[in-house]
Structure formats: C-alpha cells, structure tokens
Chains A and B, each alone.
Chain A
C-alpha cells in the first residue's frame, strides 16, 4: 500500500463510483419497466375508450327497442328484430352498393388525377410548386357548408343531383388535396436517379410512371387510396345534401333512421353497425399496409 501511493486513491474512487452507479442503474431499469407498463395500460385504456361507442352501438343493435332505452346493461337477450325491421324498411344492399361505387370510384379518379400531379410536383418542380401545394391544402380549411349553395345549384342545373356520378365528382374534389399531398411526399422519397436511369434507358414519361414510379411507391399509393376510400365512405355532409334516394350511400341510410318518427335506438344502431361493418373489416384487413405506408417512406 505504501509503495503505490497514488493508486489506492484511484481505485477507491473507481469503486465508489461503481457502488454509486449500480443501484442507479437498477432504479433506471425498474423505472423503464414501470414506464413501459404504464404506457401499455394507457394504450389499452385509450383504445377501449375509442372503441367503446362502437361496441355499445353493435350491442344496442341486438337489443329490443325497449331494452335499448332501458338502464344501460351489458346483459340482455340478443335478438335480430331490429335488423329485420331495418332491412324491411330500406334495402341495405342498394345503399351499400352506392357507397362502394362512390368510395372506390372517387378514389380511383383521385389517384388517376393525383399520380400525374404529384409526379410533376415531386420531380419537375417549378418555383410555384410549394405555393400550389399550400393552396391546395388551404381549400380543406374552407367549411364545406360555405360552398353548399353554389354546388347545389350547379348540380341542379347540370342534372347531377342524386346521381352517383355527382357524388363521385364531389368526393374526388374533396379528397384530391390530401391524395396529392400524400403521393407527393411518397414520390419525393424515391431517388431521382432511378427515374433518370429509366429515361436514359428510353422510357417515356408514361412508361417511367407505370414501370418504375408506381411499382416502387406502391405501398404509398395503396395507403393513400385506402385513406381516400375510408374518407369517402364516412362522408355524410355532401351525401345528405346532394342525394335523396337513387344515389344515397350508407351514411344517408343511417340518417334516415334518426329523425322522422322519433328515435329508435336499436334500429338506428343496427343500421349503423351494418353501415360501418364493411369499412371496419376493410380497415382491419389493410391495417398493416396503412401503417406501413403512413409511417415509413415508400422506398427505403
């Protein structure tokens, strides 16, 4: 000890710092574990909170009208009465077909217009591209009711009222800003070199888009399309105002159960459940694709 005077102090110090850090590390690990647990609980809590109205609606659909307005209870005898009553009053499949046609039709149209627009903005930008993009987004800030009267009059004059074509046009225009924005961000991630290599190989702009851009950004295009389908499916404002019977989609179908003869909760719930079931299943099936497309870039 006496021969190596400076050393003991060094080791002592080192040991001290070790004994200090060991419990600190343990606490940190513990708190990390604890934090993870709390986050999991919070996640479950929030999910249940969000899901609860849907669950309650589905349950109410299987109750009798009397049970539906009685004290809320999880225990009841399920019945399909409301479903048969709802189906007897209005043909679900007609509305569903309208919803499918309009949602997918408008999405297809929006992609058809959006892909070339986003391509030119991402790869051939001008000095006004940024401004155009912002302007497009700003149209989403306008309350739709502000343009209801002019659009209604336009539709009446052109005979588009209560037609699926009319609804497809409105939904396409409604979703186009979001579609172009999303596609633009996905396309921007694609290395320019790949498209230029295609151009050197003799690809026309159309071939460039079809053979290179689209296959390479397919996850992005898919999630954009899915979002557009969901937004169109759930849209109620325009469908309620511009359709009555022929072109009415499921949102109008639900609404038709809410007012005239007072509120029938069980029937309304049955109708709503049937209306959202397809998109719910669709969303659930494409969940992976959606999350992948929305969180990662299209091409890594």
Chain B
C-alpha cells in the first residue's frame, strides 16, 4: 500500500550528470518497469529510491512524505539484487530472517514468518541450506523471499532475472507476475530486456541518457512511441527505419515517397510539415506483408527460421529491413523479395527524432495487465 513520486530528481557523480531531472508517479499496487540500454541511469534511479544512493537534488516522496534523508531500512522498501546478494555464511532461513532479527523480532515469530514466506515460494525443503548449495533459480527465490518477509510497502527489483538461463527466466517472469497479484504490492522493476518490460509492466518507463523518454502502458509504447528511440527499443524484432520524402501533407495524413518511388499515406498529423522534407518512416517487422505487388523491394541476405516464424533480413539501398514472415515461407537467400506494410501501423519521425502524432489512438493503447485479466475472466465465463 504505497505510492511513490519523483520530483525533478538529479544525480551527479563528480562532474557527470547521470540522472537529468526525472519526474515520475507510481500509483499504489502498480507494477512499474524501468527499461533502457545499459548506462541509461535506470539502476541509479532505483538505488536512489532504495536509499543506497542520495539524490543530488529533487524530492523522493513515498505516500506524500519526502524521504530523501530517511535511511534505506526506514523507508519500508525491500530490494532484490541482480547478484541476489544472499549472505553466503547464513542458511536460507537466516537469510530470510535477517531483517527480522535486526528488528528485534522474537525467534518463534521469526521462524513463523520465514516458514510462511517459504511456503509461498516453495522454499521449505531448502531452509537449512546455505546459498552455495542452491541453483540460480532457487537463489533468486530466496532473494525474493527475503524481500517478502519484510512486508515492504514497495518492492524494488534490480535486473533480477538477468543471471538466469532463458527457460528459467520465462518461468520466473510468470512467477513474479503471479506474486504481484498475490501480494498486491507496489513493485518497481529495472531491466534492459524490453520483453520483460512488455510482459510484466502496468507502466513502462523508458530511460535513455538519464532522461525519461516516455512513460506509458506496454501497448501505448508499442503503438504510439513518442520518438524514434522508444520506437526502436520497444518491440522485437526491432522496428525498421527508412528515409522518405514528404510528397504532400493533408488532413488525412502525410503522403510520403518510398525508396522504390511509390507513394504511401501514413495517418499522422502533418501539421506544419512541408513537401520535400526528409522524414524517417518506421514500420515493424510484424506489420509487413509479403506481396508480389508490394511497393518495396530488396534482396534477402539472411534467413532465420524459428519454426513458427521466420525472420528475413532484406537489403534495401539504404537499410537492412527485418521482415517477420510465416514459418513456412519458401524463400532462399539471394531471392528478391517484394513487400508492403500496413500504413496504419507505420510511424513518421522528424529530424529531431520525435514522432508525428498519430491521428487515431490504438484501441489497446490504454490496456494494462489488470484489464488483461478482466478480459480473460470475461472470456472464460
């Protein structure tokens, strides 16, 4: 039960400004994911919220109270570290009960609480083991258990899954989402993996170079990226970009000339865009249709077959285009491919990197995980 507000947070290490004025609101029981490339400041931001790092300026508020000067333990938060940071010389039980021991909780009470938490995470058989004798996934669960025992108002996760193998990561992702439902707690999660961000977040915060690029629901970021960076960062495989020239800007959208010479109208607000301006057209690999009459053409350089899906890397004069196609396409390397894309799902970016605003809001852009659940429940009834 907690809300968090960041007000114009700045962090400076010596002469380098790593966080350049961040404002953010985290609502009660929200699952917020900070995502961005390494060095974007997401971990630093989390550490400032945790109290392990002090903010150079700005305010951090929990439930409306400024807590900049409050120590990490008194903030009522719990953190799960990337390295798990379990205490190697203590058993799982002692690891999980350490905070209670420091708080002066009696031995029986401690034992009861630890067992309770261990039950949720299926850690009971491991309580007497030392961290050394645990697998990566088990260590991770102990680290999460240690956080739960404290009954924190906000959970902080610092890239908790990046040391796990791919299969375990998917499993833990699901487990974390389930845990969020079960604990009904506010969670802030840092990752560089946009898939983790997309799958778990109610709200994604995209960071780059210490600046918040965009805040929104996963689907809002996917369908309405504010700029070229967010467009390229969210979505996998990455969005394709090609340079185009504006032919005409009208009320129904902006008509651009594609590299092959064909014109295409993208439904975005072209207010103030002059004909002849060079823009960047962005379209996602999954929005491309293979079409012998399509406006674009290129030579296939690489084919990646994933079974159900095939990724085709197509060389165009200025760019390498990724095409997500059906698993059964029969194309070969060296073939010439003609294709088109859905203009409704395309984006145009100005020279400043900002997206021209879409004329239509995508119906799922406001969707978050809670709505997802509502839909699935409605579907099952």
**Mask: chain B, 48-88; 1 = CB below 8 Å from A; 0 = not:** 00101000000000000000000111000111011101111
* A193 to B50 Cα, complex, angstroms: 13
Q: Give the shortest distance, in Å, between B297 (CB) and chain A (any CB).
A: 43
Say whether A202 contacts B103, CB under 8 Å.
Answer: yes
With A194-B87, A299-B88 known to touch, is A201 a contact of B81 (CB < 8 Å)? Answer: no
Give the contacting residue for B73; candidates A191, A203, A211, A299; CB below 8 A. A203
Q: Which applies to chain B's interface (DSSP): helix, strand, loop or mixed?
A: loop
* A202 to B98 Cα, complex, angstroms: 9
Say whether B146 contacts A196, CB under 8 Å.
Answer: no
* A82 to B369 Cα, complex, angstroms: 90
B50 partner residues in chain A, CB cutoff 8 A = 200
The reply on A116 being an interface residue by CB < 8 A is no
* A102 to B351 Cα, complex, angstroms: 75
The reply on A222 being an interface residue by CB < 8 A is no
Q: Give the shortest distance, in Å, between B321 (CB) and chain A (any CB).
A: 42
CB-nearest residue of chain A to B75: A200
B73 partner residues in chain A, CB cutoff 8 A = 199-203
The reply on A207 being an interface residue by CB < 8 A is yes
Residues 109-149 (chain B) with a chain A CB within 8 angstroms = 146
Give the contacting residue for A199; candidates B72, B83, B87, B146; CB below 8 A. B72
With A191-B83, A216-B88 known to touch, is A200 a contact of B77 (CB < 8 Å)? Answer: yes
Say whether A193 contacts B89, CB under 8 Å.
Answer: no
The reply on B374 being an interface residue by CB < 8 A is no
With A191-B83, A194-B87, A216-B88 known to touch, is A199 a contact of B102 (CB < 8 Å)? Answer: no
B89 partner residues in chain A, CB cutoff 8 A = 215-216
Residues 200-220 (chain A) with a chain B CB within 8 angstroms = 200-203, 207, 211-212, 215-216
A198 partner residues in chain B, CB cutoff 8 A = 87, 98
The reply on A97 being an interface residue by CB < 8 A is no
* A91 to B89 Cα, complex, angstroms: 46
Q: Give the shortest distance, in Å, between B147 (CB) and chain A (any CB).
A: 8
The total of chain A residues at the interface (CB under 8 A) is 17
With A202-B73, A215-B89, A299-B88 known to touch, is A193 a contact of B99 (CB < 8 Å)? Answer: no
Q: Give the shortest distance, in Å, between B13 (CB) and chain A (any CB).
A: 12
B150 partner residues in chain A, CB cutoff 8 A = 201
Chain B contact-residue range equals 20 to 34
Q: Give the shortest distance, in Å, between A299 (CB) and chain B (any CB).
A: 7
B82 partner residues in chain A, CB cutoff 8 A = 193
A202 partner residues in chain B, CB cutoff 8 A = 73, 99, 102-103
B85 partner residues in chain A, CB cutoff 8 A = 191, 193-194, 196-197
A196 partner residues in chain B, CB cutoff 8 A = 52, 79, 81, 85
B146 partner residues in chain A, CB cutoff 8 A = 197, 201
Say whether B83 contacts A201, CB under 8 Å.
Answer: no
* A211 to B87 Cα, complex, angstroms: 10
Q: Give the shortest distance, in Å, between A186 (CB) and chain B (any CB).
A: 15
Say whether A207 contacts B102, CB under 8 Å.
Answer: yes
* A203 to B88 Cα, complex, angstroms: 16
* A194 to B150 Cα, complex, angstroms: 17
Q: Give the shortest distance, in Å, between A102 (CB) and chain B (any CB).
A: 32
* A202 to B51 Cα, complex, angstroms: 12
CB-nearest residue of chain B to A208: B102
* A30 to B82 Cα, complex, angstroms: 48
* A207 to B73 Cα, complex, angstroms: 13
Give the contacting residue for A201; candidates B52, B88, B99; CB below 8 A. B99
Say whether B81 contacts A197, CB under 8 Å.
Answer: yes
* A199 to B53 Cα, complex, angstroms: 12
A201 partner residues in chain B, CB cutoff 8 A = 73, 98-99, 102, 146, 150
A200 partner residues in chain B, CB cutoff 8 A = 50, 52, 72-73, 77-79, 99
B86 partner residues in chain A, CB cutoff 8 A = 194, 197
* A194 to B139 Cα, complex, angstroms: 14
* A203 to B82 Cα, complex, angstroms: 20
Q: Give the shortest distance, in Å, between B87 (CB) and chain A (any CB).
A: 6
* A202 to B103 Cα, complex, angstroms: 7
* A215 to B94 Cα, complex, angstroms: 14
B79 partner residues in chain A, CB cutoff 8 A = 196-197, 200
B81 partner residues in chain A, CB cutoff 8 A = 193, 196-197
Residues 7-44 (chain A) with a chain B CB within 8 angstroms = none
B87 partner residues in chain A, CB cutoff 8 A = 194, 197-198, 212, 216
What are 7 A-B pairs at a CB distance below 8 A? A194-B88, A197-B85, A197-B146, A199-B71, A201-B150, A212-B87, A216-B89
Beyond A197-B85, A197-B87, A203-B102, list 17 extra A-B contacts (CB 8 Å).
A191-B85, A193-B82, A193-B83, A194-B87, A197-B86, A197-B146, A198-B87, A199-B71, A200-B52, A200-B72, A201-B73, A201-B99, A202-B73, A202-B103, A212-B87, A216-B88, A299-B88
Residues of A within 8 A of B (CB): 191, 193-194, 196-203, 207, 211-212, 215-216, 299
What 3 pairs between A and B have smallest CB-CB spacing?
Answer: A202-B73, A193-B85, A201-B99
